[in-house]
């Protein structure tokens, strides 16, 4: 058996950074999800194996809490581990640090579901490889941030902007990539905002899939000047609408 905790290193490339020379949160999110993929594949319950039996992982919730963001040309280590498994859901945590100094950038929590790619229905995680995933559950390593939120809105959200989805928004599962919802949200903010603030914490609750060609409508509810809730609603090419995602963002000064 491999270690329960996986550790993966990523170079912070300059074209993945914004005008403050720090990593885009969207790219940090991609590194986190890549670490989850590497960890699960190495241990026999990742996408490489699951796709051969018509199964896949779907991200249900994601929370990232950040003390700071890595700078260009630095190297970031992402540690990831599973801290709980149920029949249809599993909990996975993350720790992001500077690979050289050990400075902690932040932590993450996530909830994943397994589905059948043919029926799109939930699949029994414990039936995969005779439930071998339970051998990699680590309840000892701490993840000192609150669990991911369901993101409850009051119903008073106002349309902040709309985004058309295109080819580069779609991932290998054929739906809009989980991180793209966040990147489009950040793009609704002006440059002056991003020069003053960065993400302190973000919670994402995924509700449904959206696909190439859908239009995403972002409805915003302002809690305080630096705390916002978003409801993302898709409009398909046939005119059908449905909620796909909810996001809570807490901004902090740079």
- Same fold yes or no, 6-136 and 158-253: yes
pLDDT at 103: 97
**Which tokens sit at 211?**
């696909």
Q: What contacts 16, CB < 8 A, 6 or more positions away?
A: 23, 24, 27
pLDDT at 200: 98
Residue 82: which H helix or E strand, with range? strand 75-85
**Which tokens sit at 38?**
């590497």
Residue 204: which H helix or E strand, with range? strand 197-206
Say what the pTM is: 0.95
In this prediction, the residues of the chain whose per-residue pLDDT falls under 70 are none
Alpha helices, DSSP H, located in 79-202: 180-186, 191-196
Residue for token digits 């699960």?
A: 40
pLDDT at 95: 98
Q: How far apart are the first and last CA of the chain?
A: 42
**pLDDT by residue (tens digit) across 123-161?**
999 999 999 999 999 999 999 999 998 899 988 899 999
- Picking from 98, 102, 90, 96, the residue whose alpha carbon sits closest to that of residue 138 is 90
pLDDT at 153: 92
CATH architecture of the region 6-136: Roll (3.10)
Domain ranges for the chain: 6-136, 158-253
User: Domain 158-253 carries which CATH code?
Assistant: 3.10.129.10
CA dist., res. 219 & res. 235, Å (int): 13
3-state secondary structure of 63: strand
pLDDT at 173: 82
């Amino acid at each position: 058996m491999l270690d329960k905790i996986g550790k993966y290193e990523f170079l912070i490339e300059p074209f993945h950074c914004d005008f403050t020379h720090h990593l885009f949160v969207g790219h940090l999110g991609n590194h986190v999800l890549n670490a989850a993929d590497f960890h699960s594949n190495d241990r026999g319950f990742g996408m490489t194996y699951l796709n051969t039996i018509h199964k896949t992982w779907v991200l249900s919730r994601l929370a990232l809490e950040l003390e700071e963001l890595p700078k260009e040309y630095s190297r970031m280590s992402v540690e990831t581990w599973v801290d709980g498994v149920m029949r249809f859901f599993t909990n996975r945590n993350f720790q992001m640090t500077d690979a050289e100094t050990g400075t902690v950038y932040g932590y993450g929590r996530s909830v994943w579901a397994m589905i059948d790619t043919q029926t799109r229905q939930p699949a029994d995680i414990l039936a995969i490889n005779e439930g071998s995933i339970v051998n990699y559950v680590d309840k000892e390593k701490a993840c000192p941030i609150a669990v991911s939120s369901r993101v409850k809105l009051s119903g008073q959200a106002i349309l902040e902007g709309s985004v058309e989805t295109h080819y580069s928004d779609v991932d290998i599962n054929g739906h809009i990539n989980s991180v793209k919802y966040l990147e489009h949200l950040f793009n609704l903010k002006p440059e002056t905002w991003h020069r003053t603030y960065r993400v302190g914490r973000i919670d994402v609750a995924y509700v449904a899939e959206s696909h190439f060609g859908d239009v995403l409508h972002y409805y915003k509810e302002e809690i305080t000047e630096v705390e916002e809730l978003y409801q993302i609603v898709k409009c398909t090419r046939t005119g059908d609408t449905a909620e796909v995602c909810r996001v809570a963002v807490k901004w902090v000064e740079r």
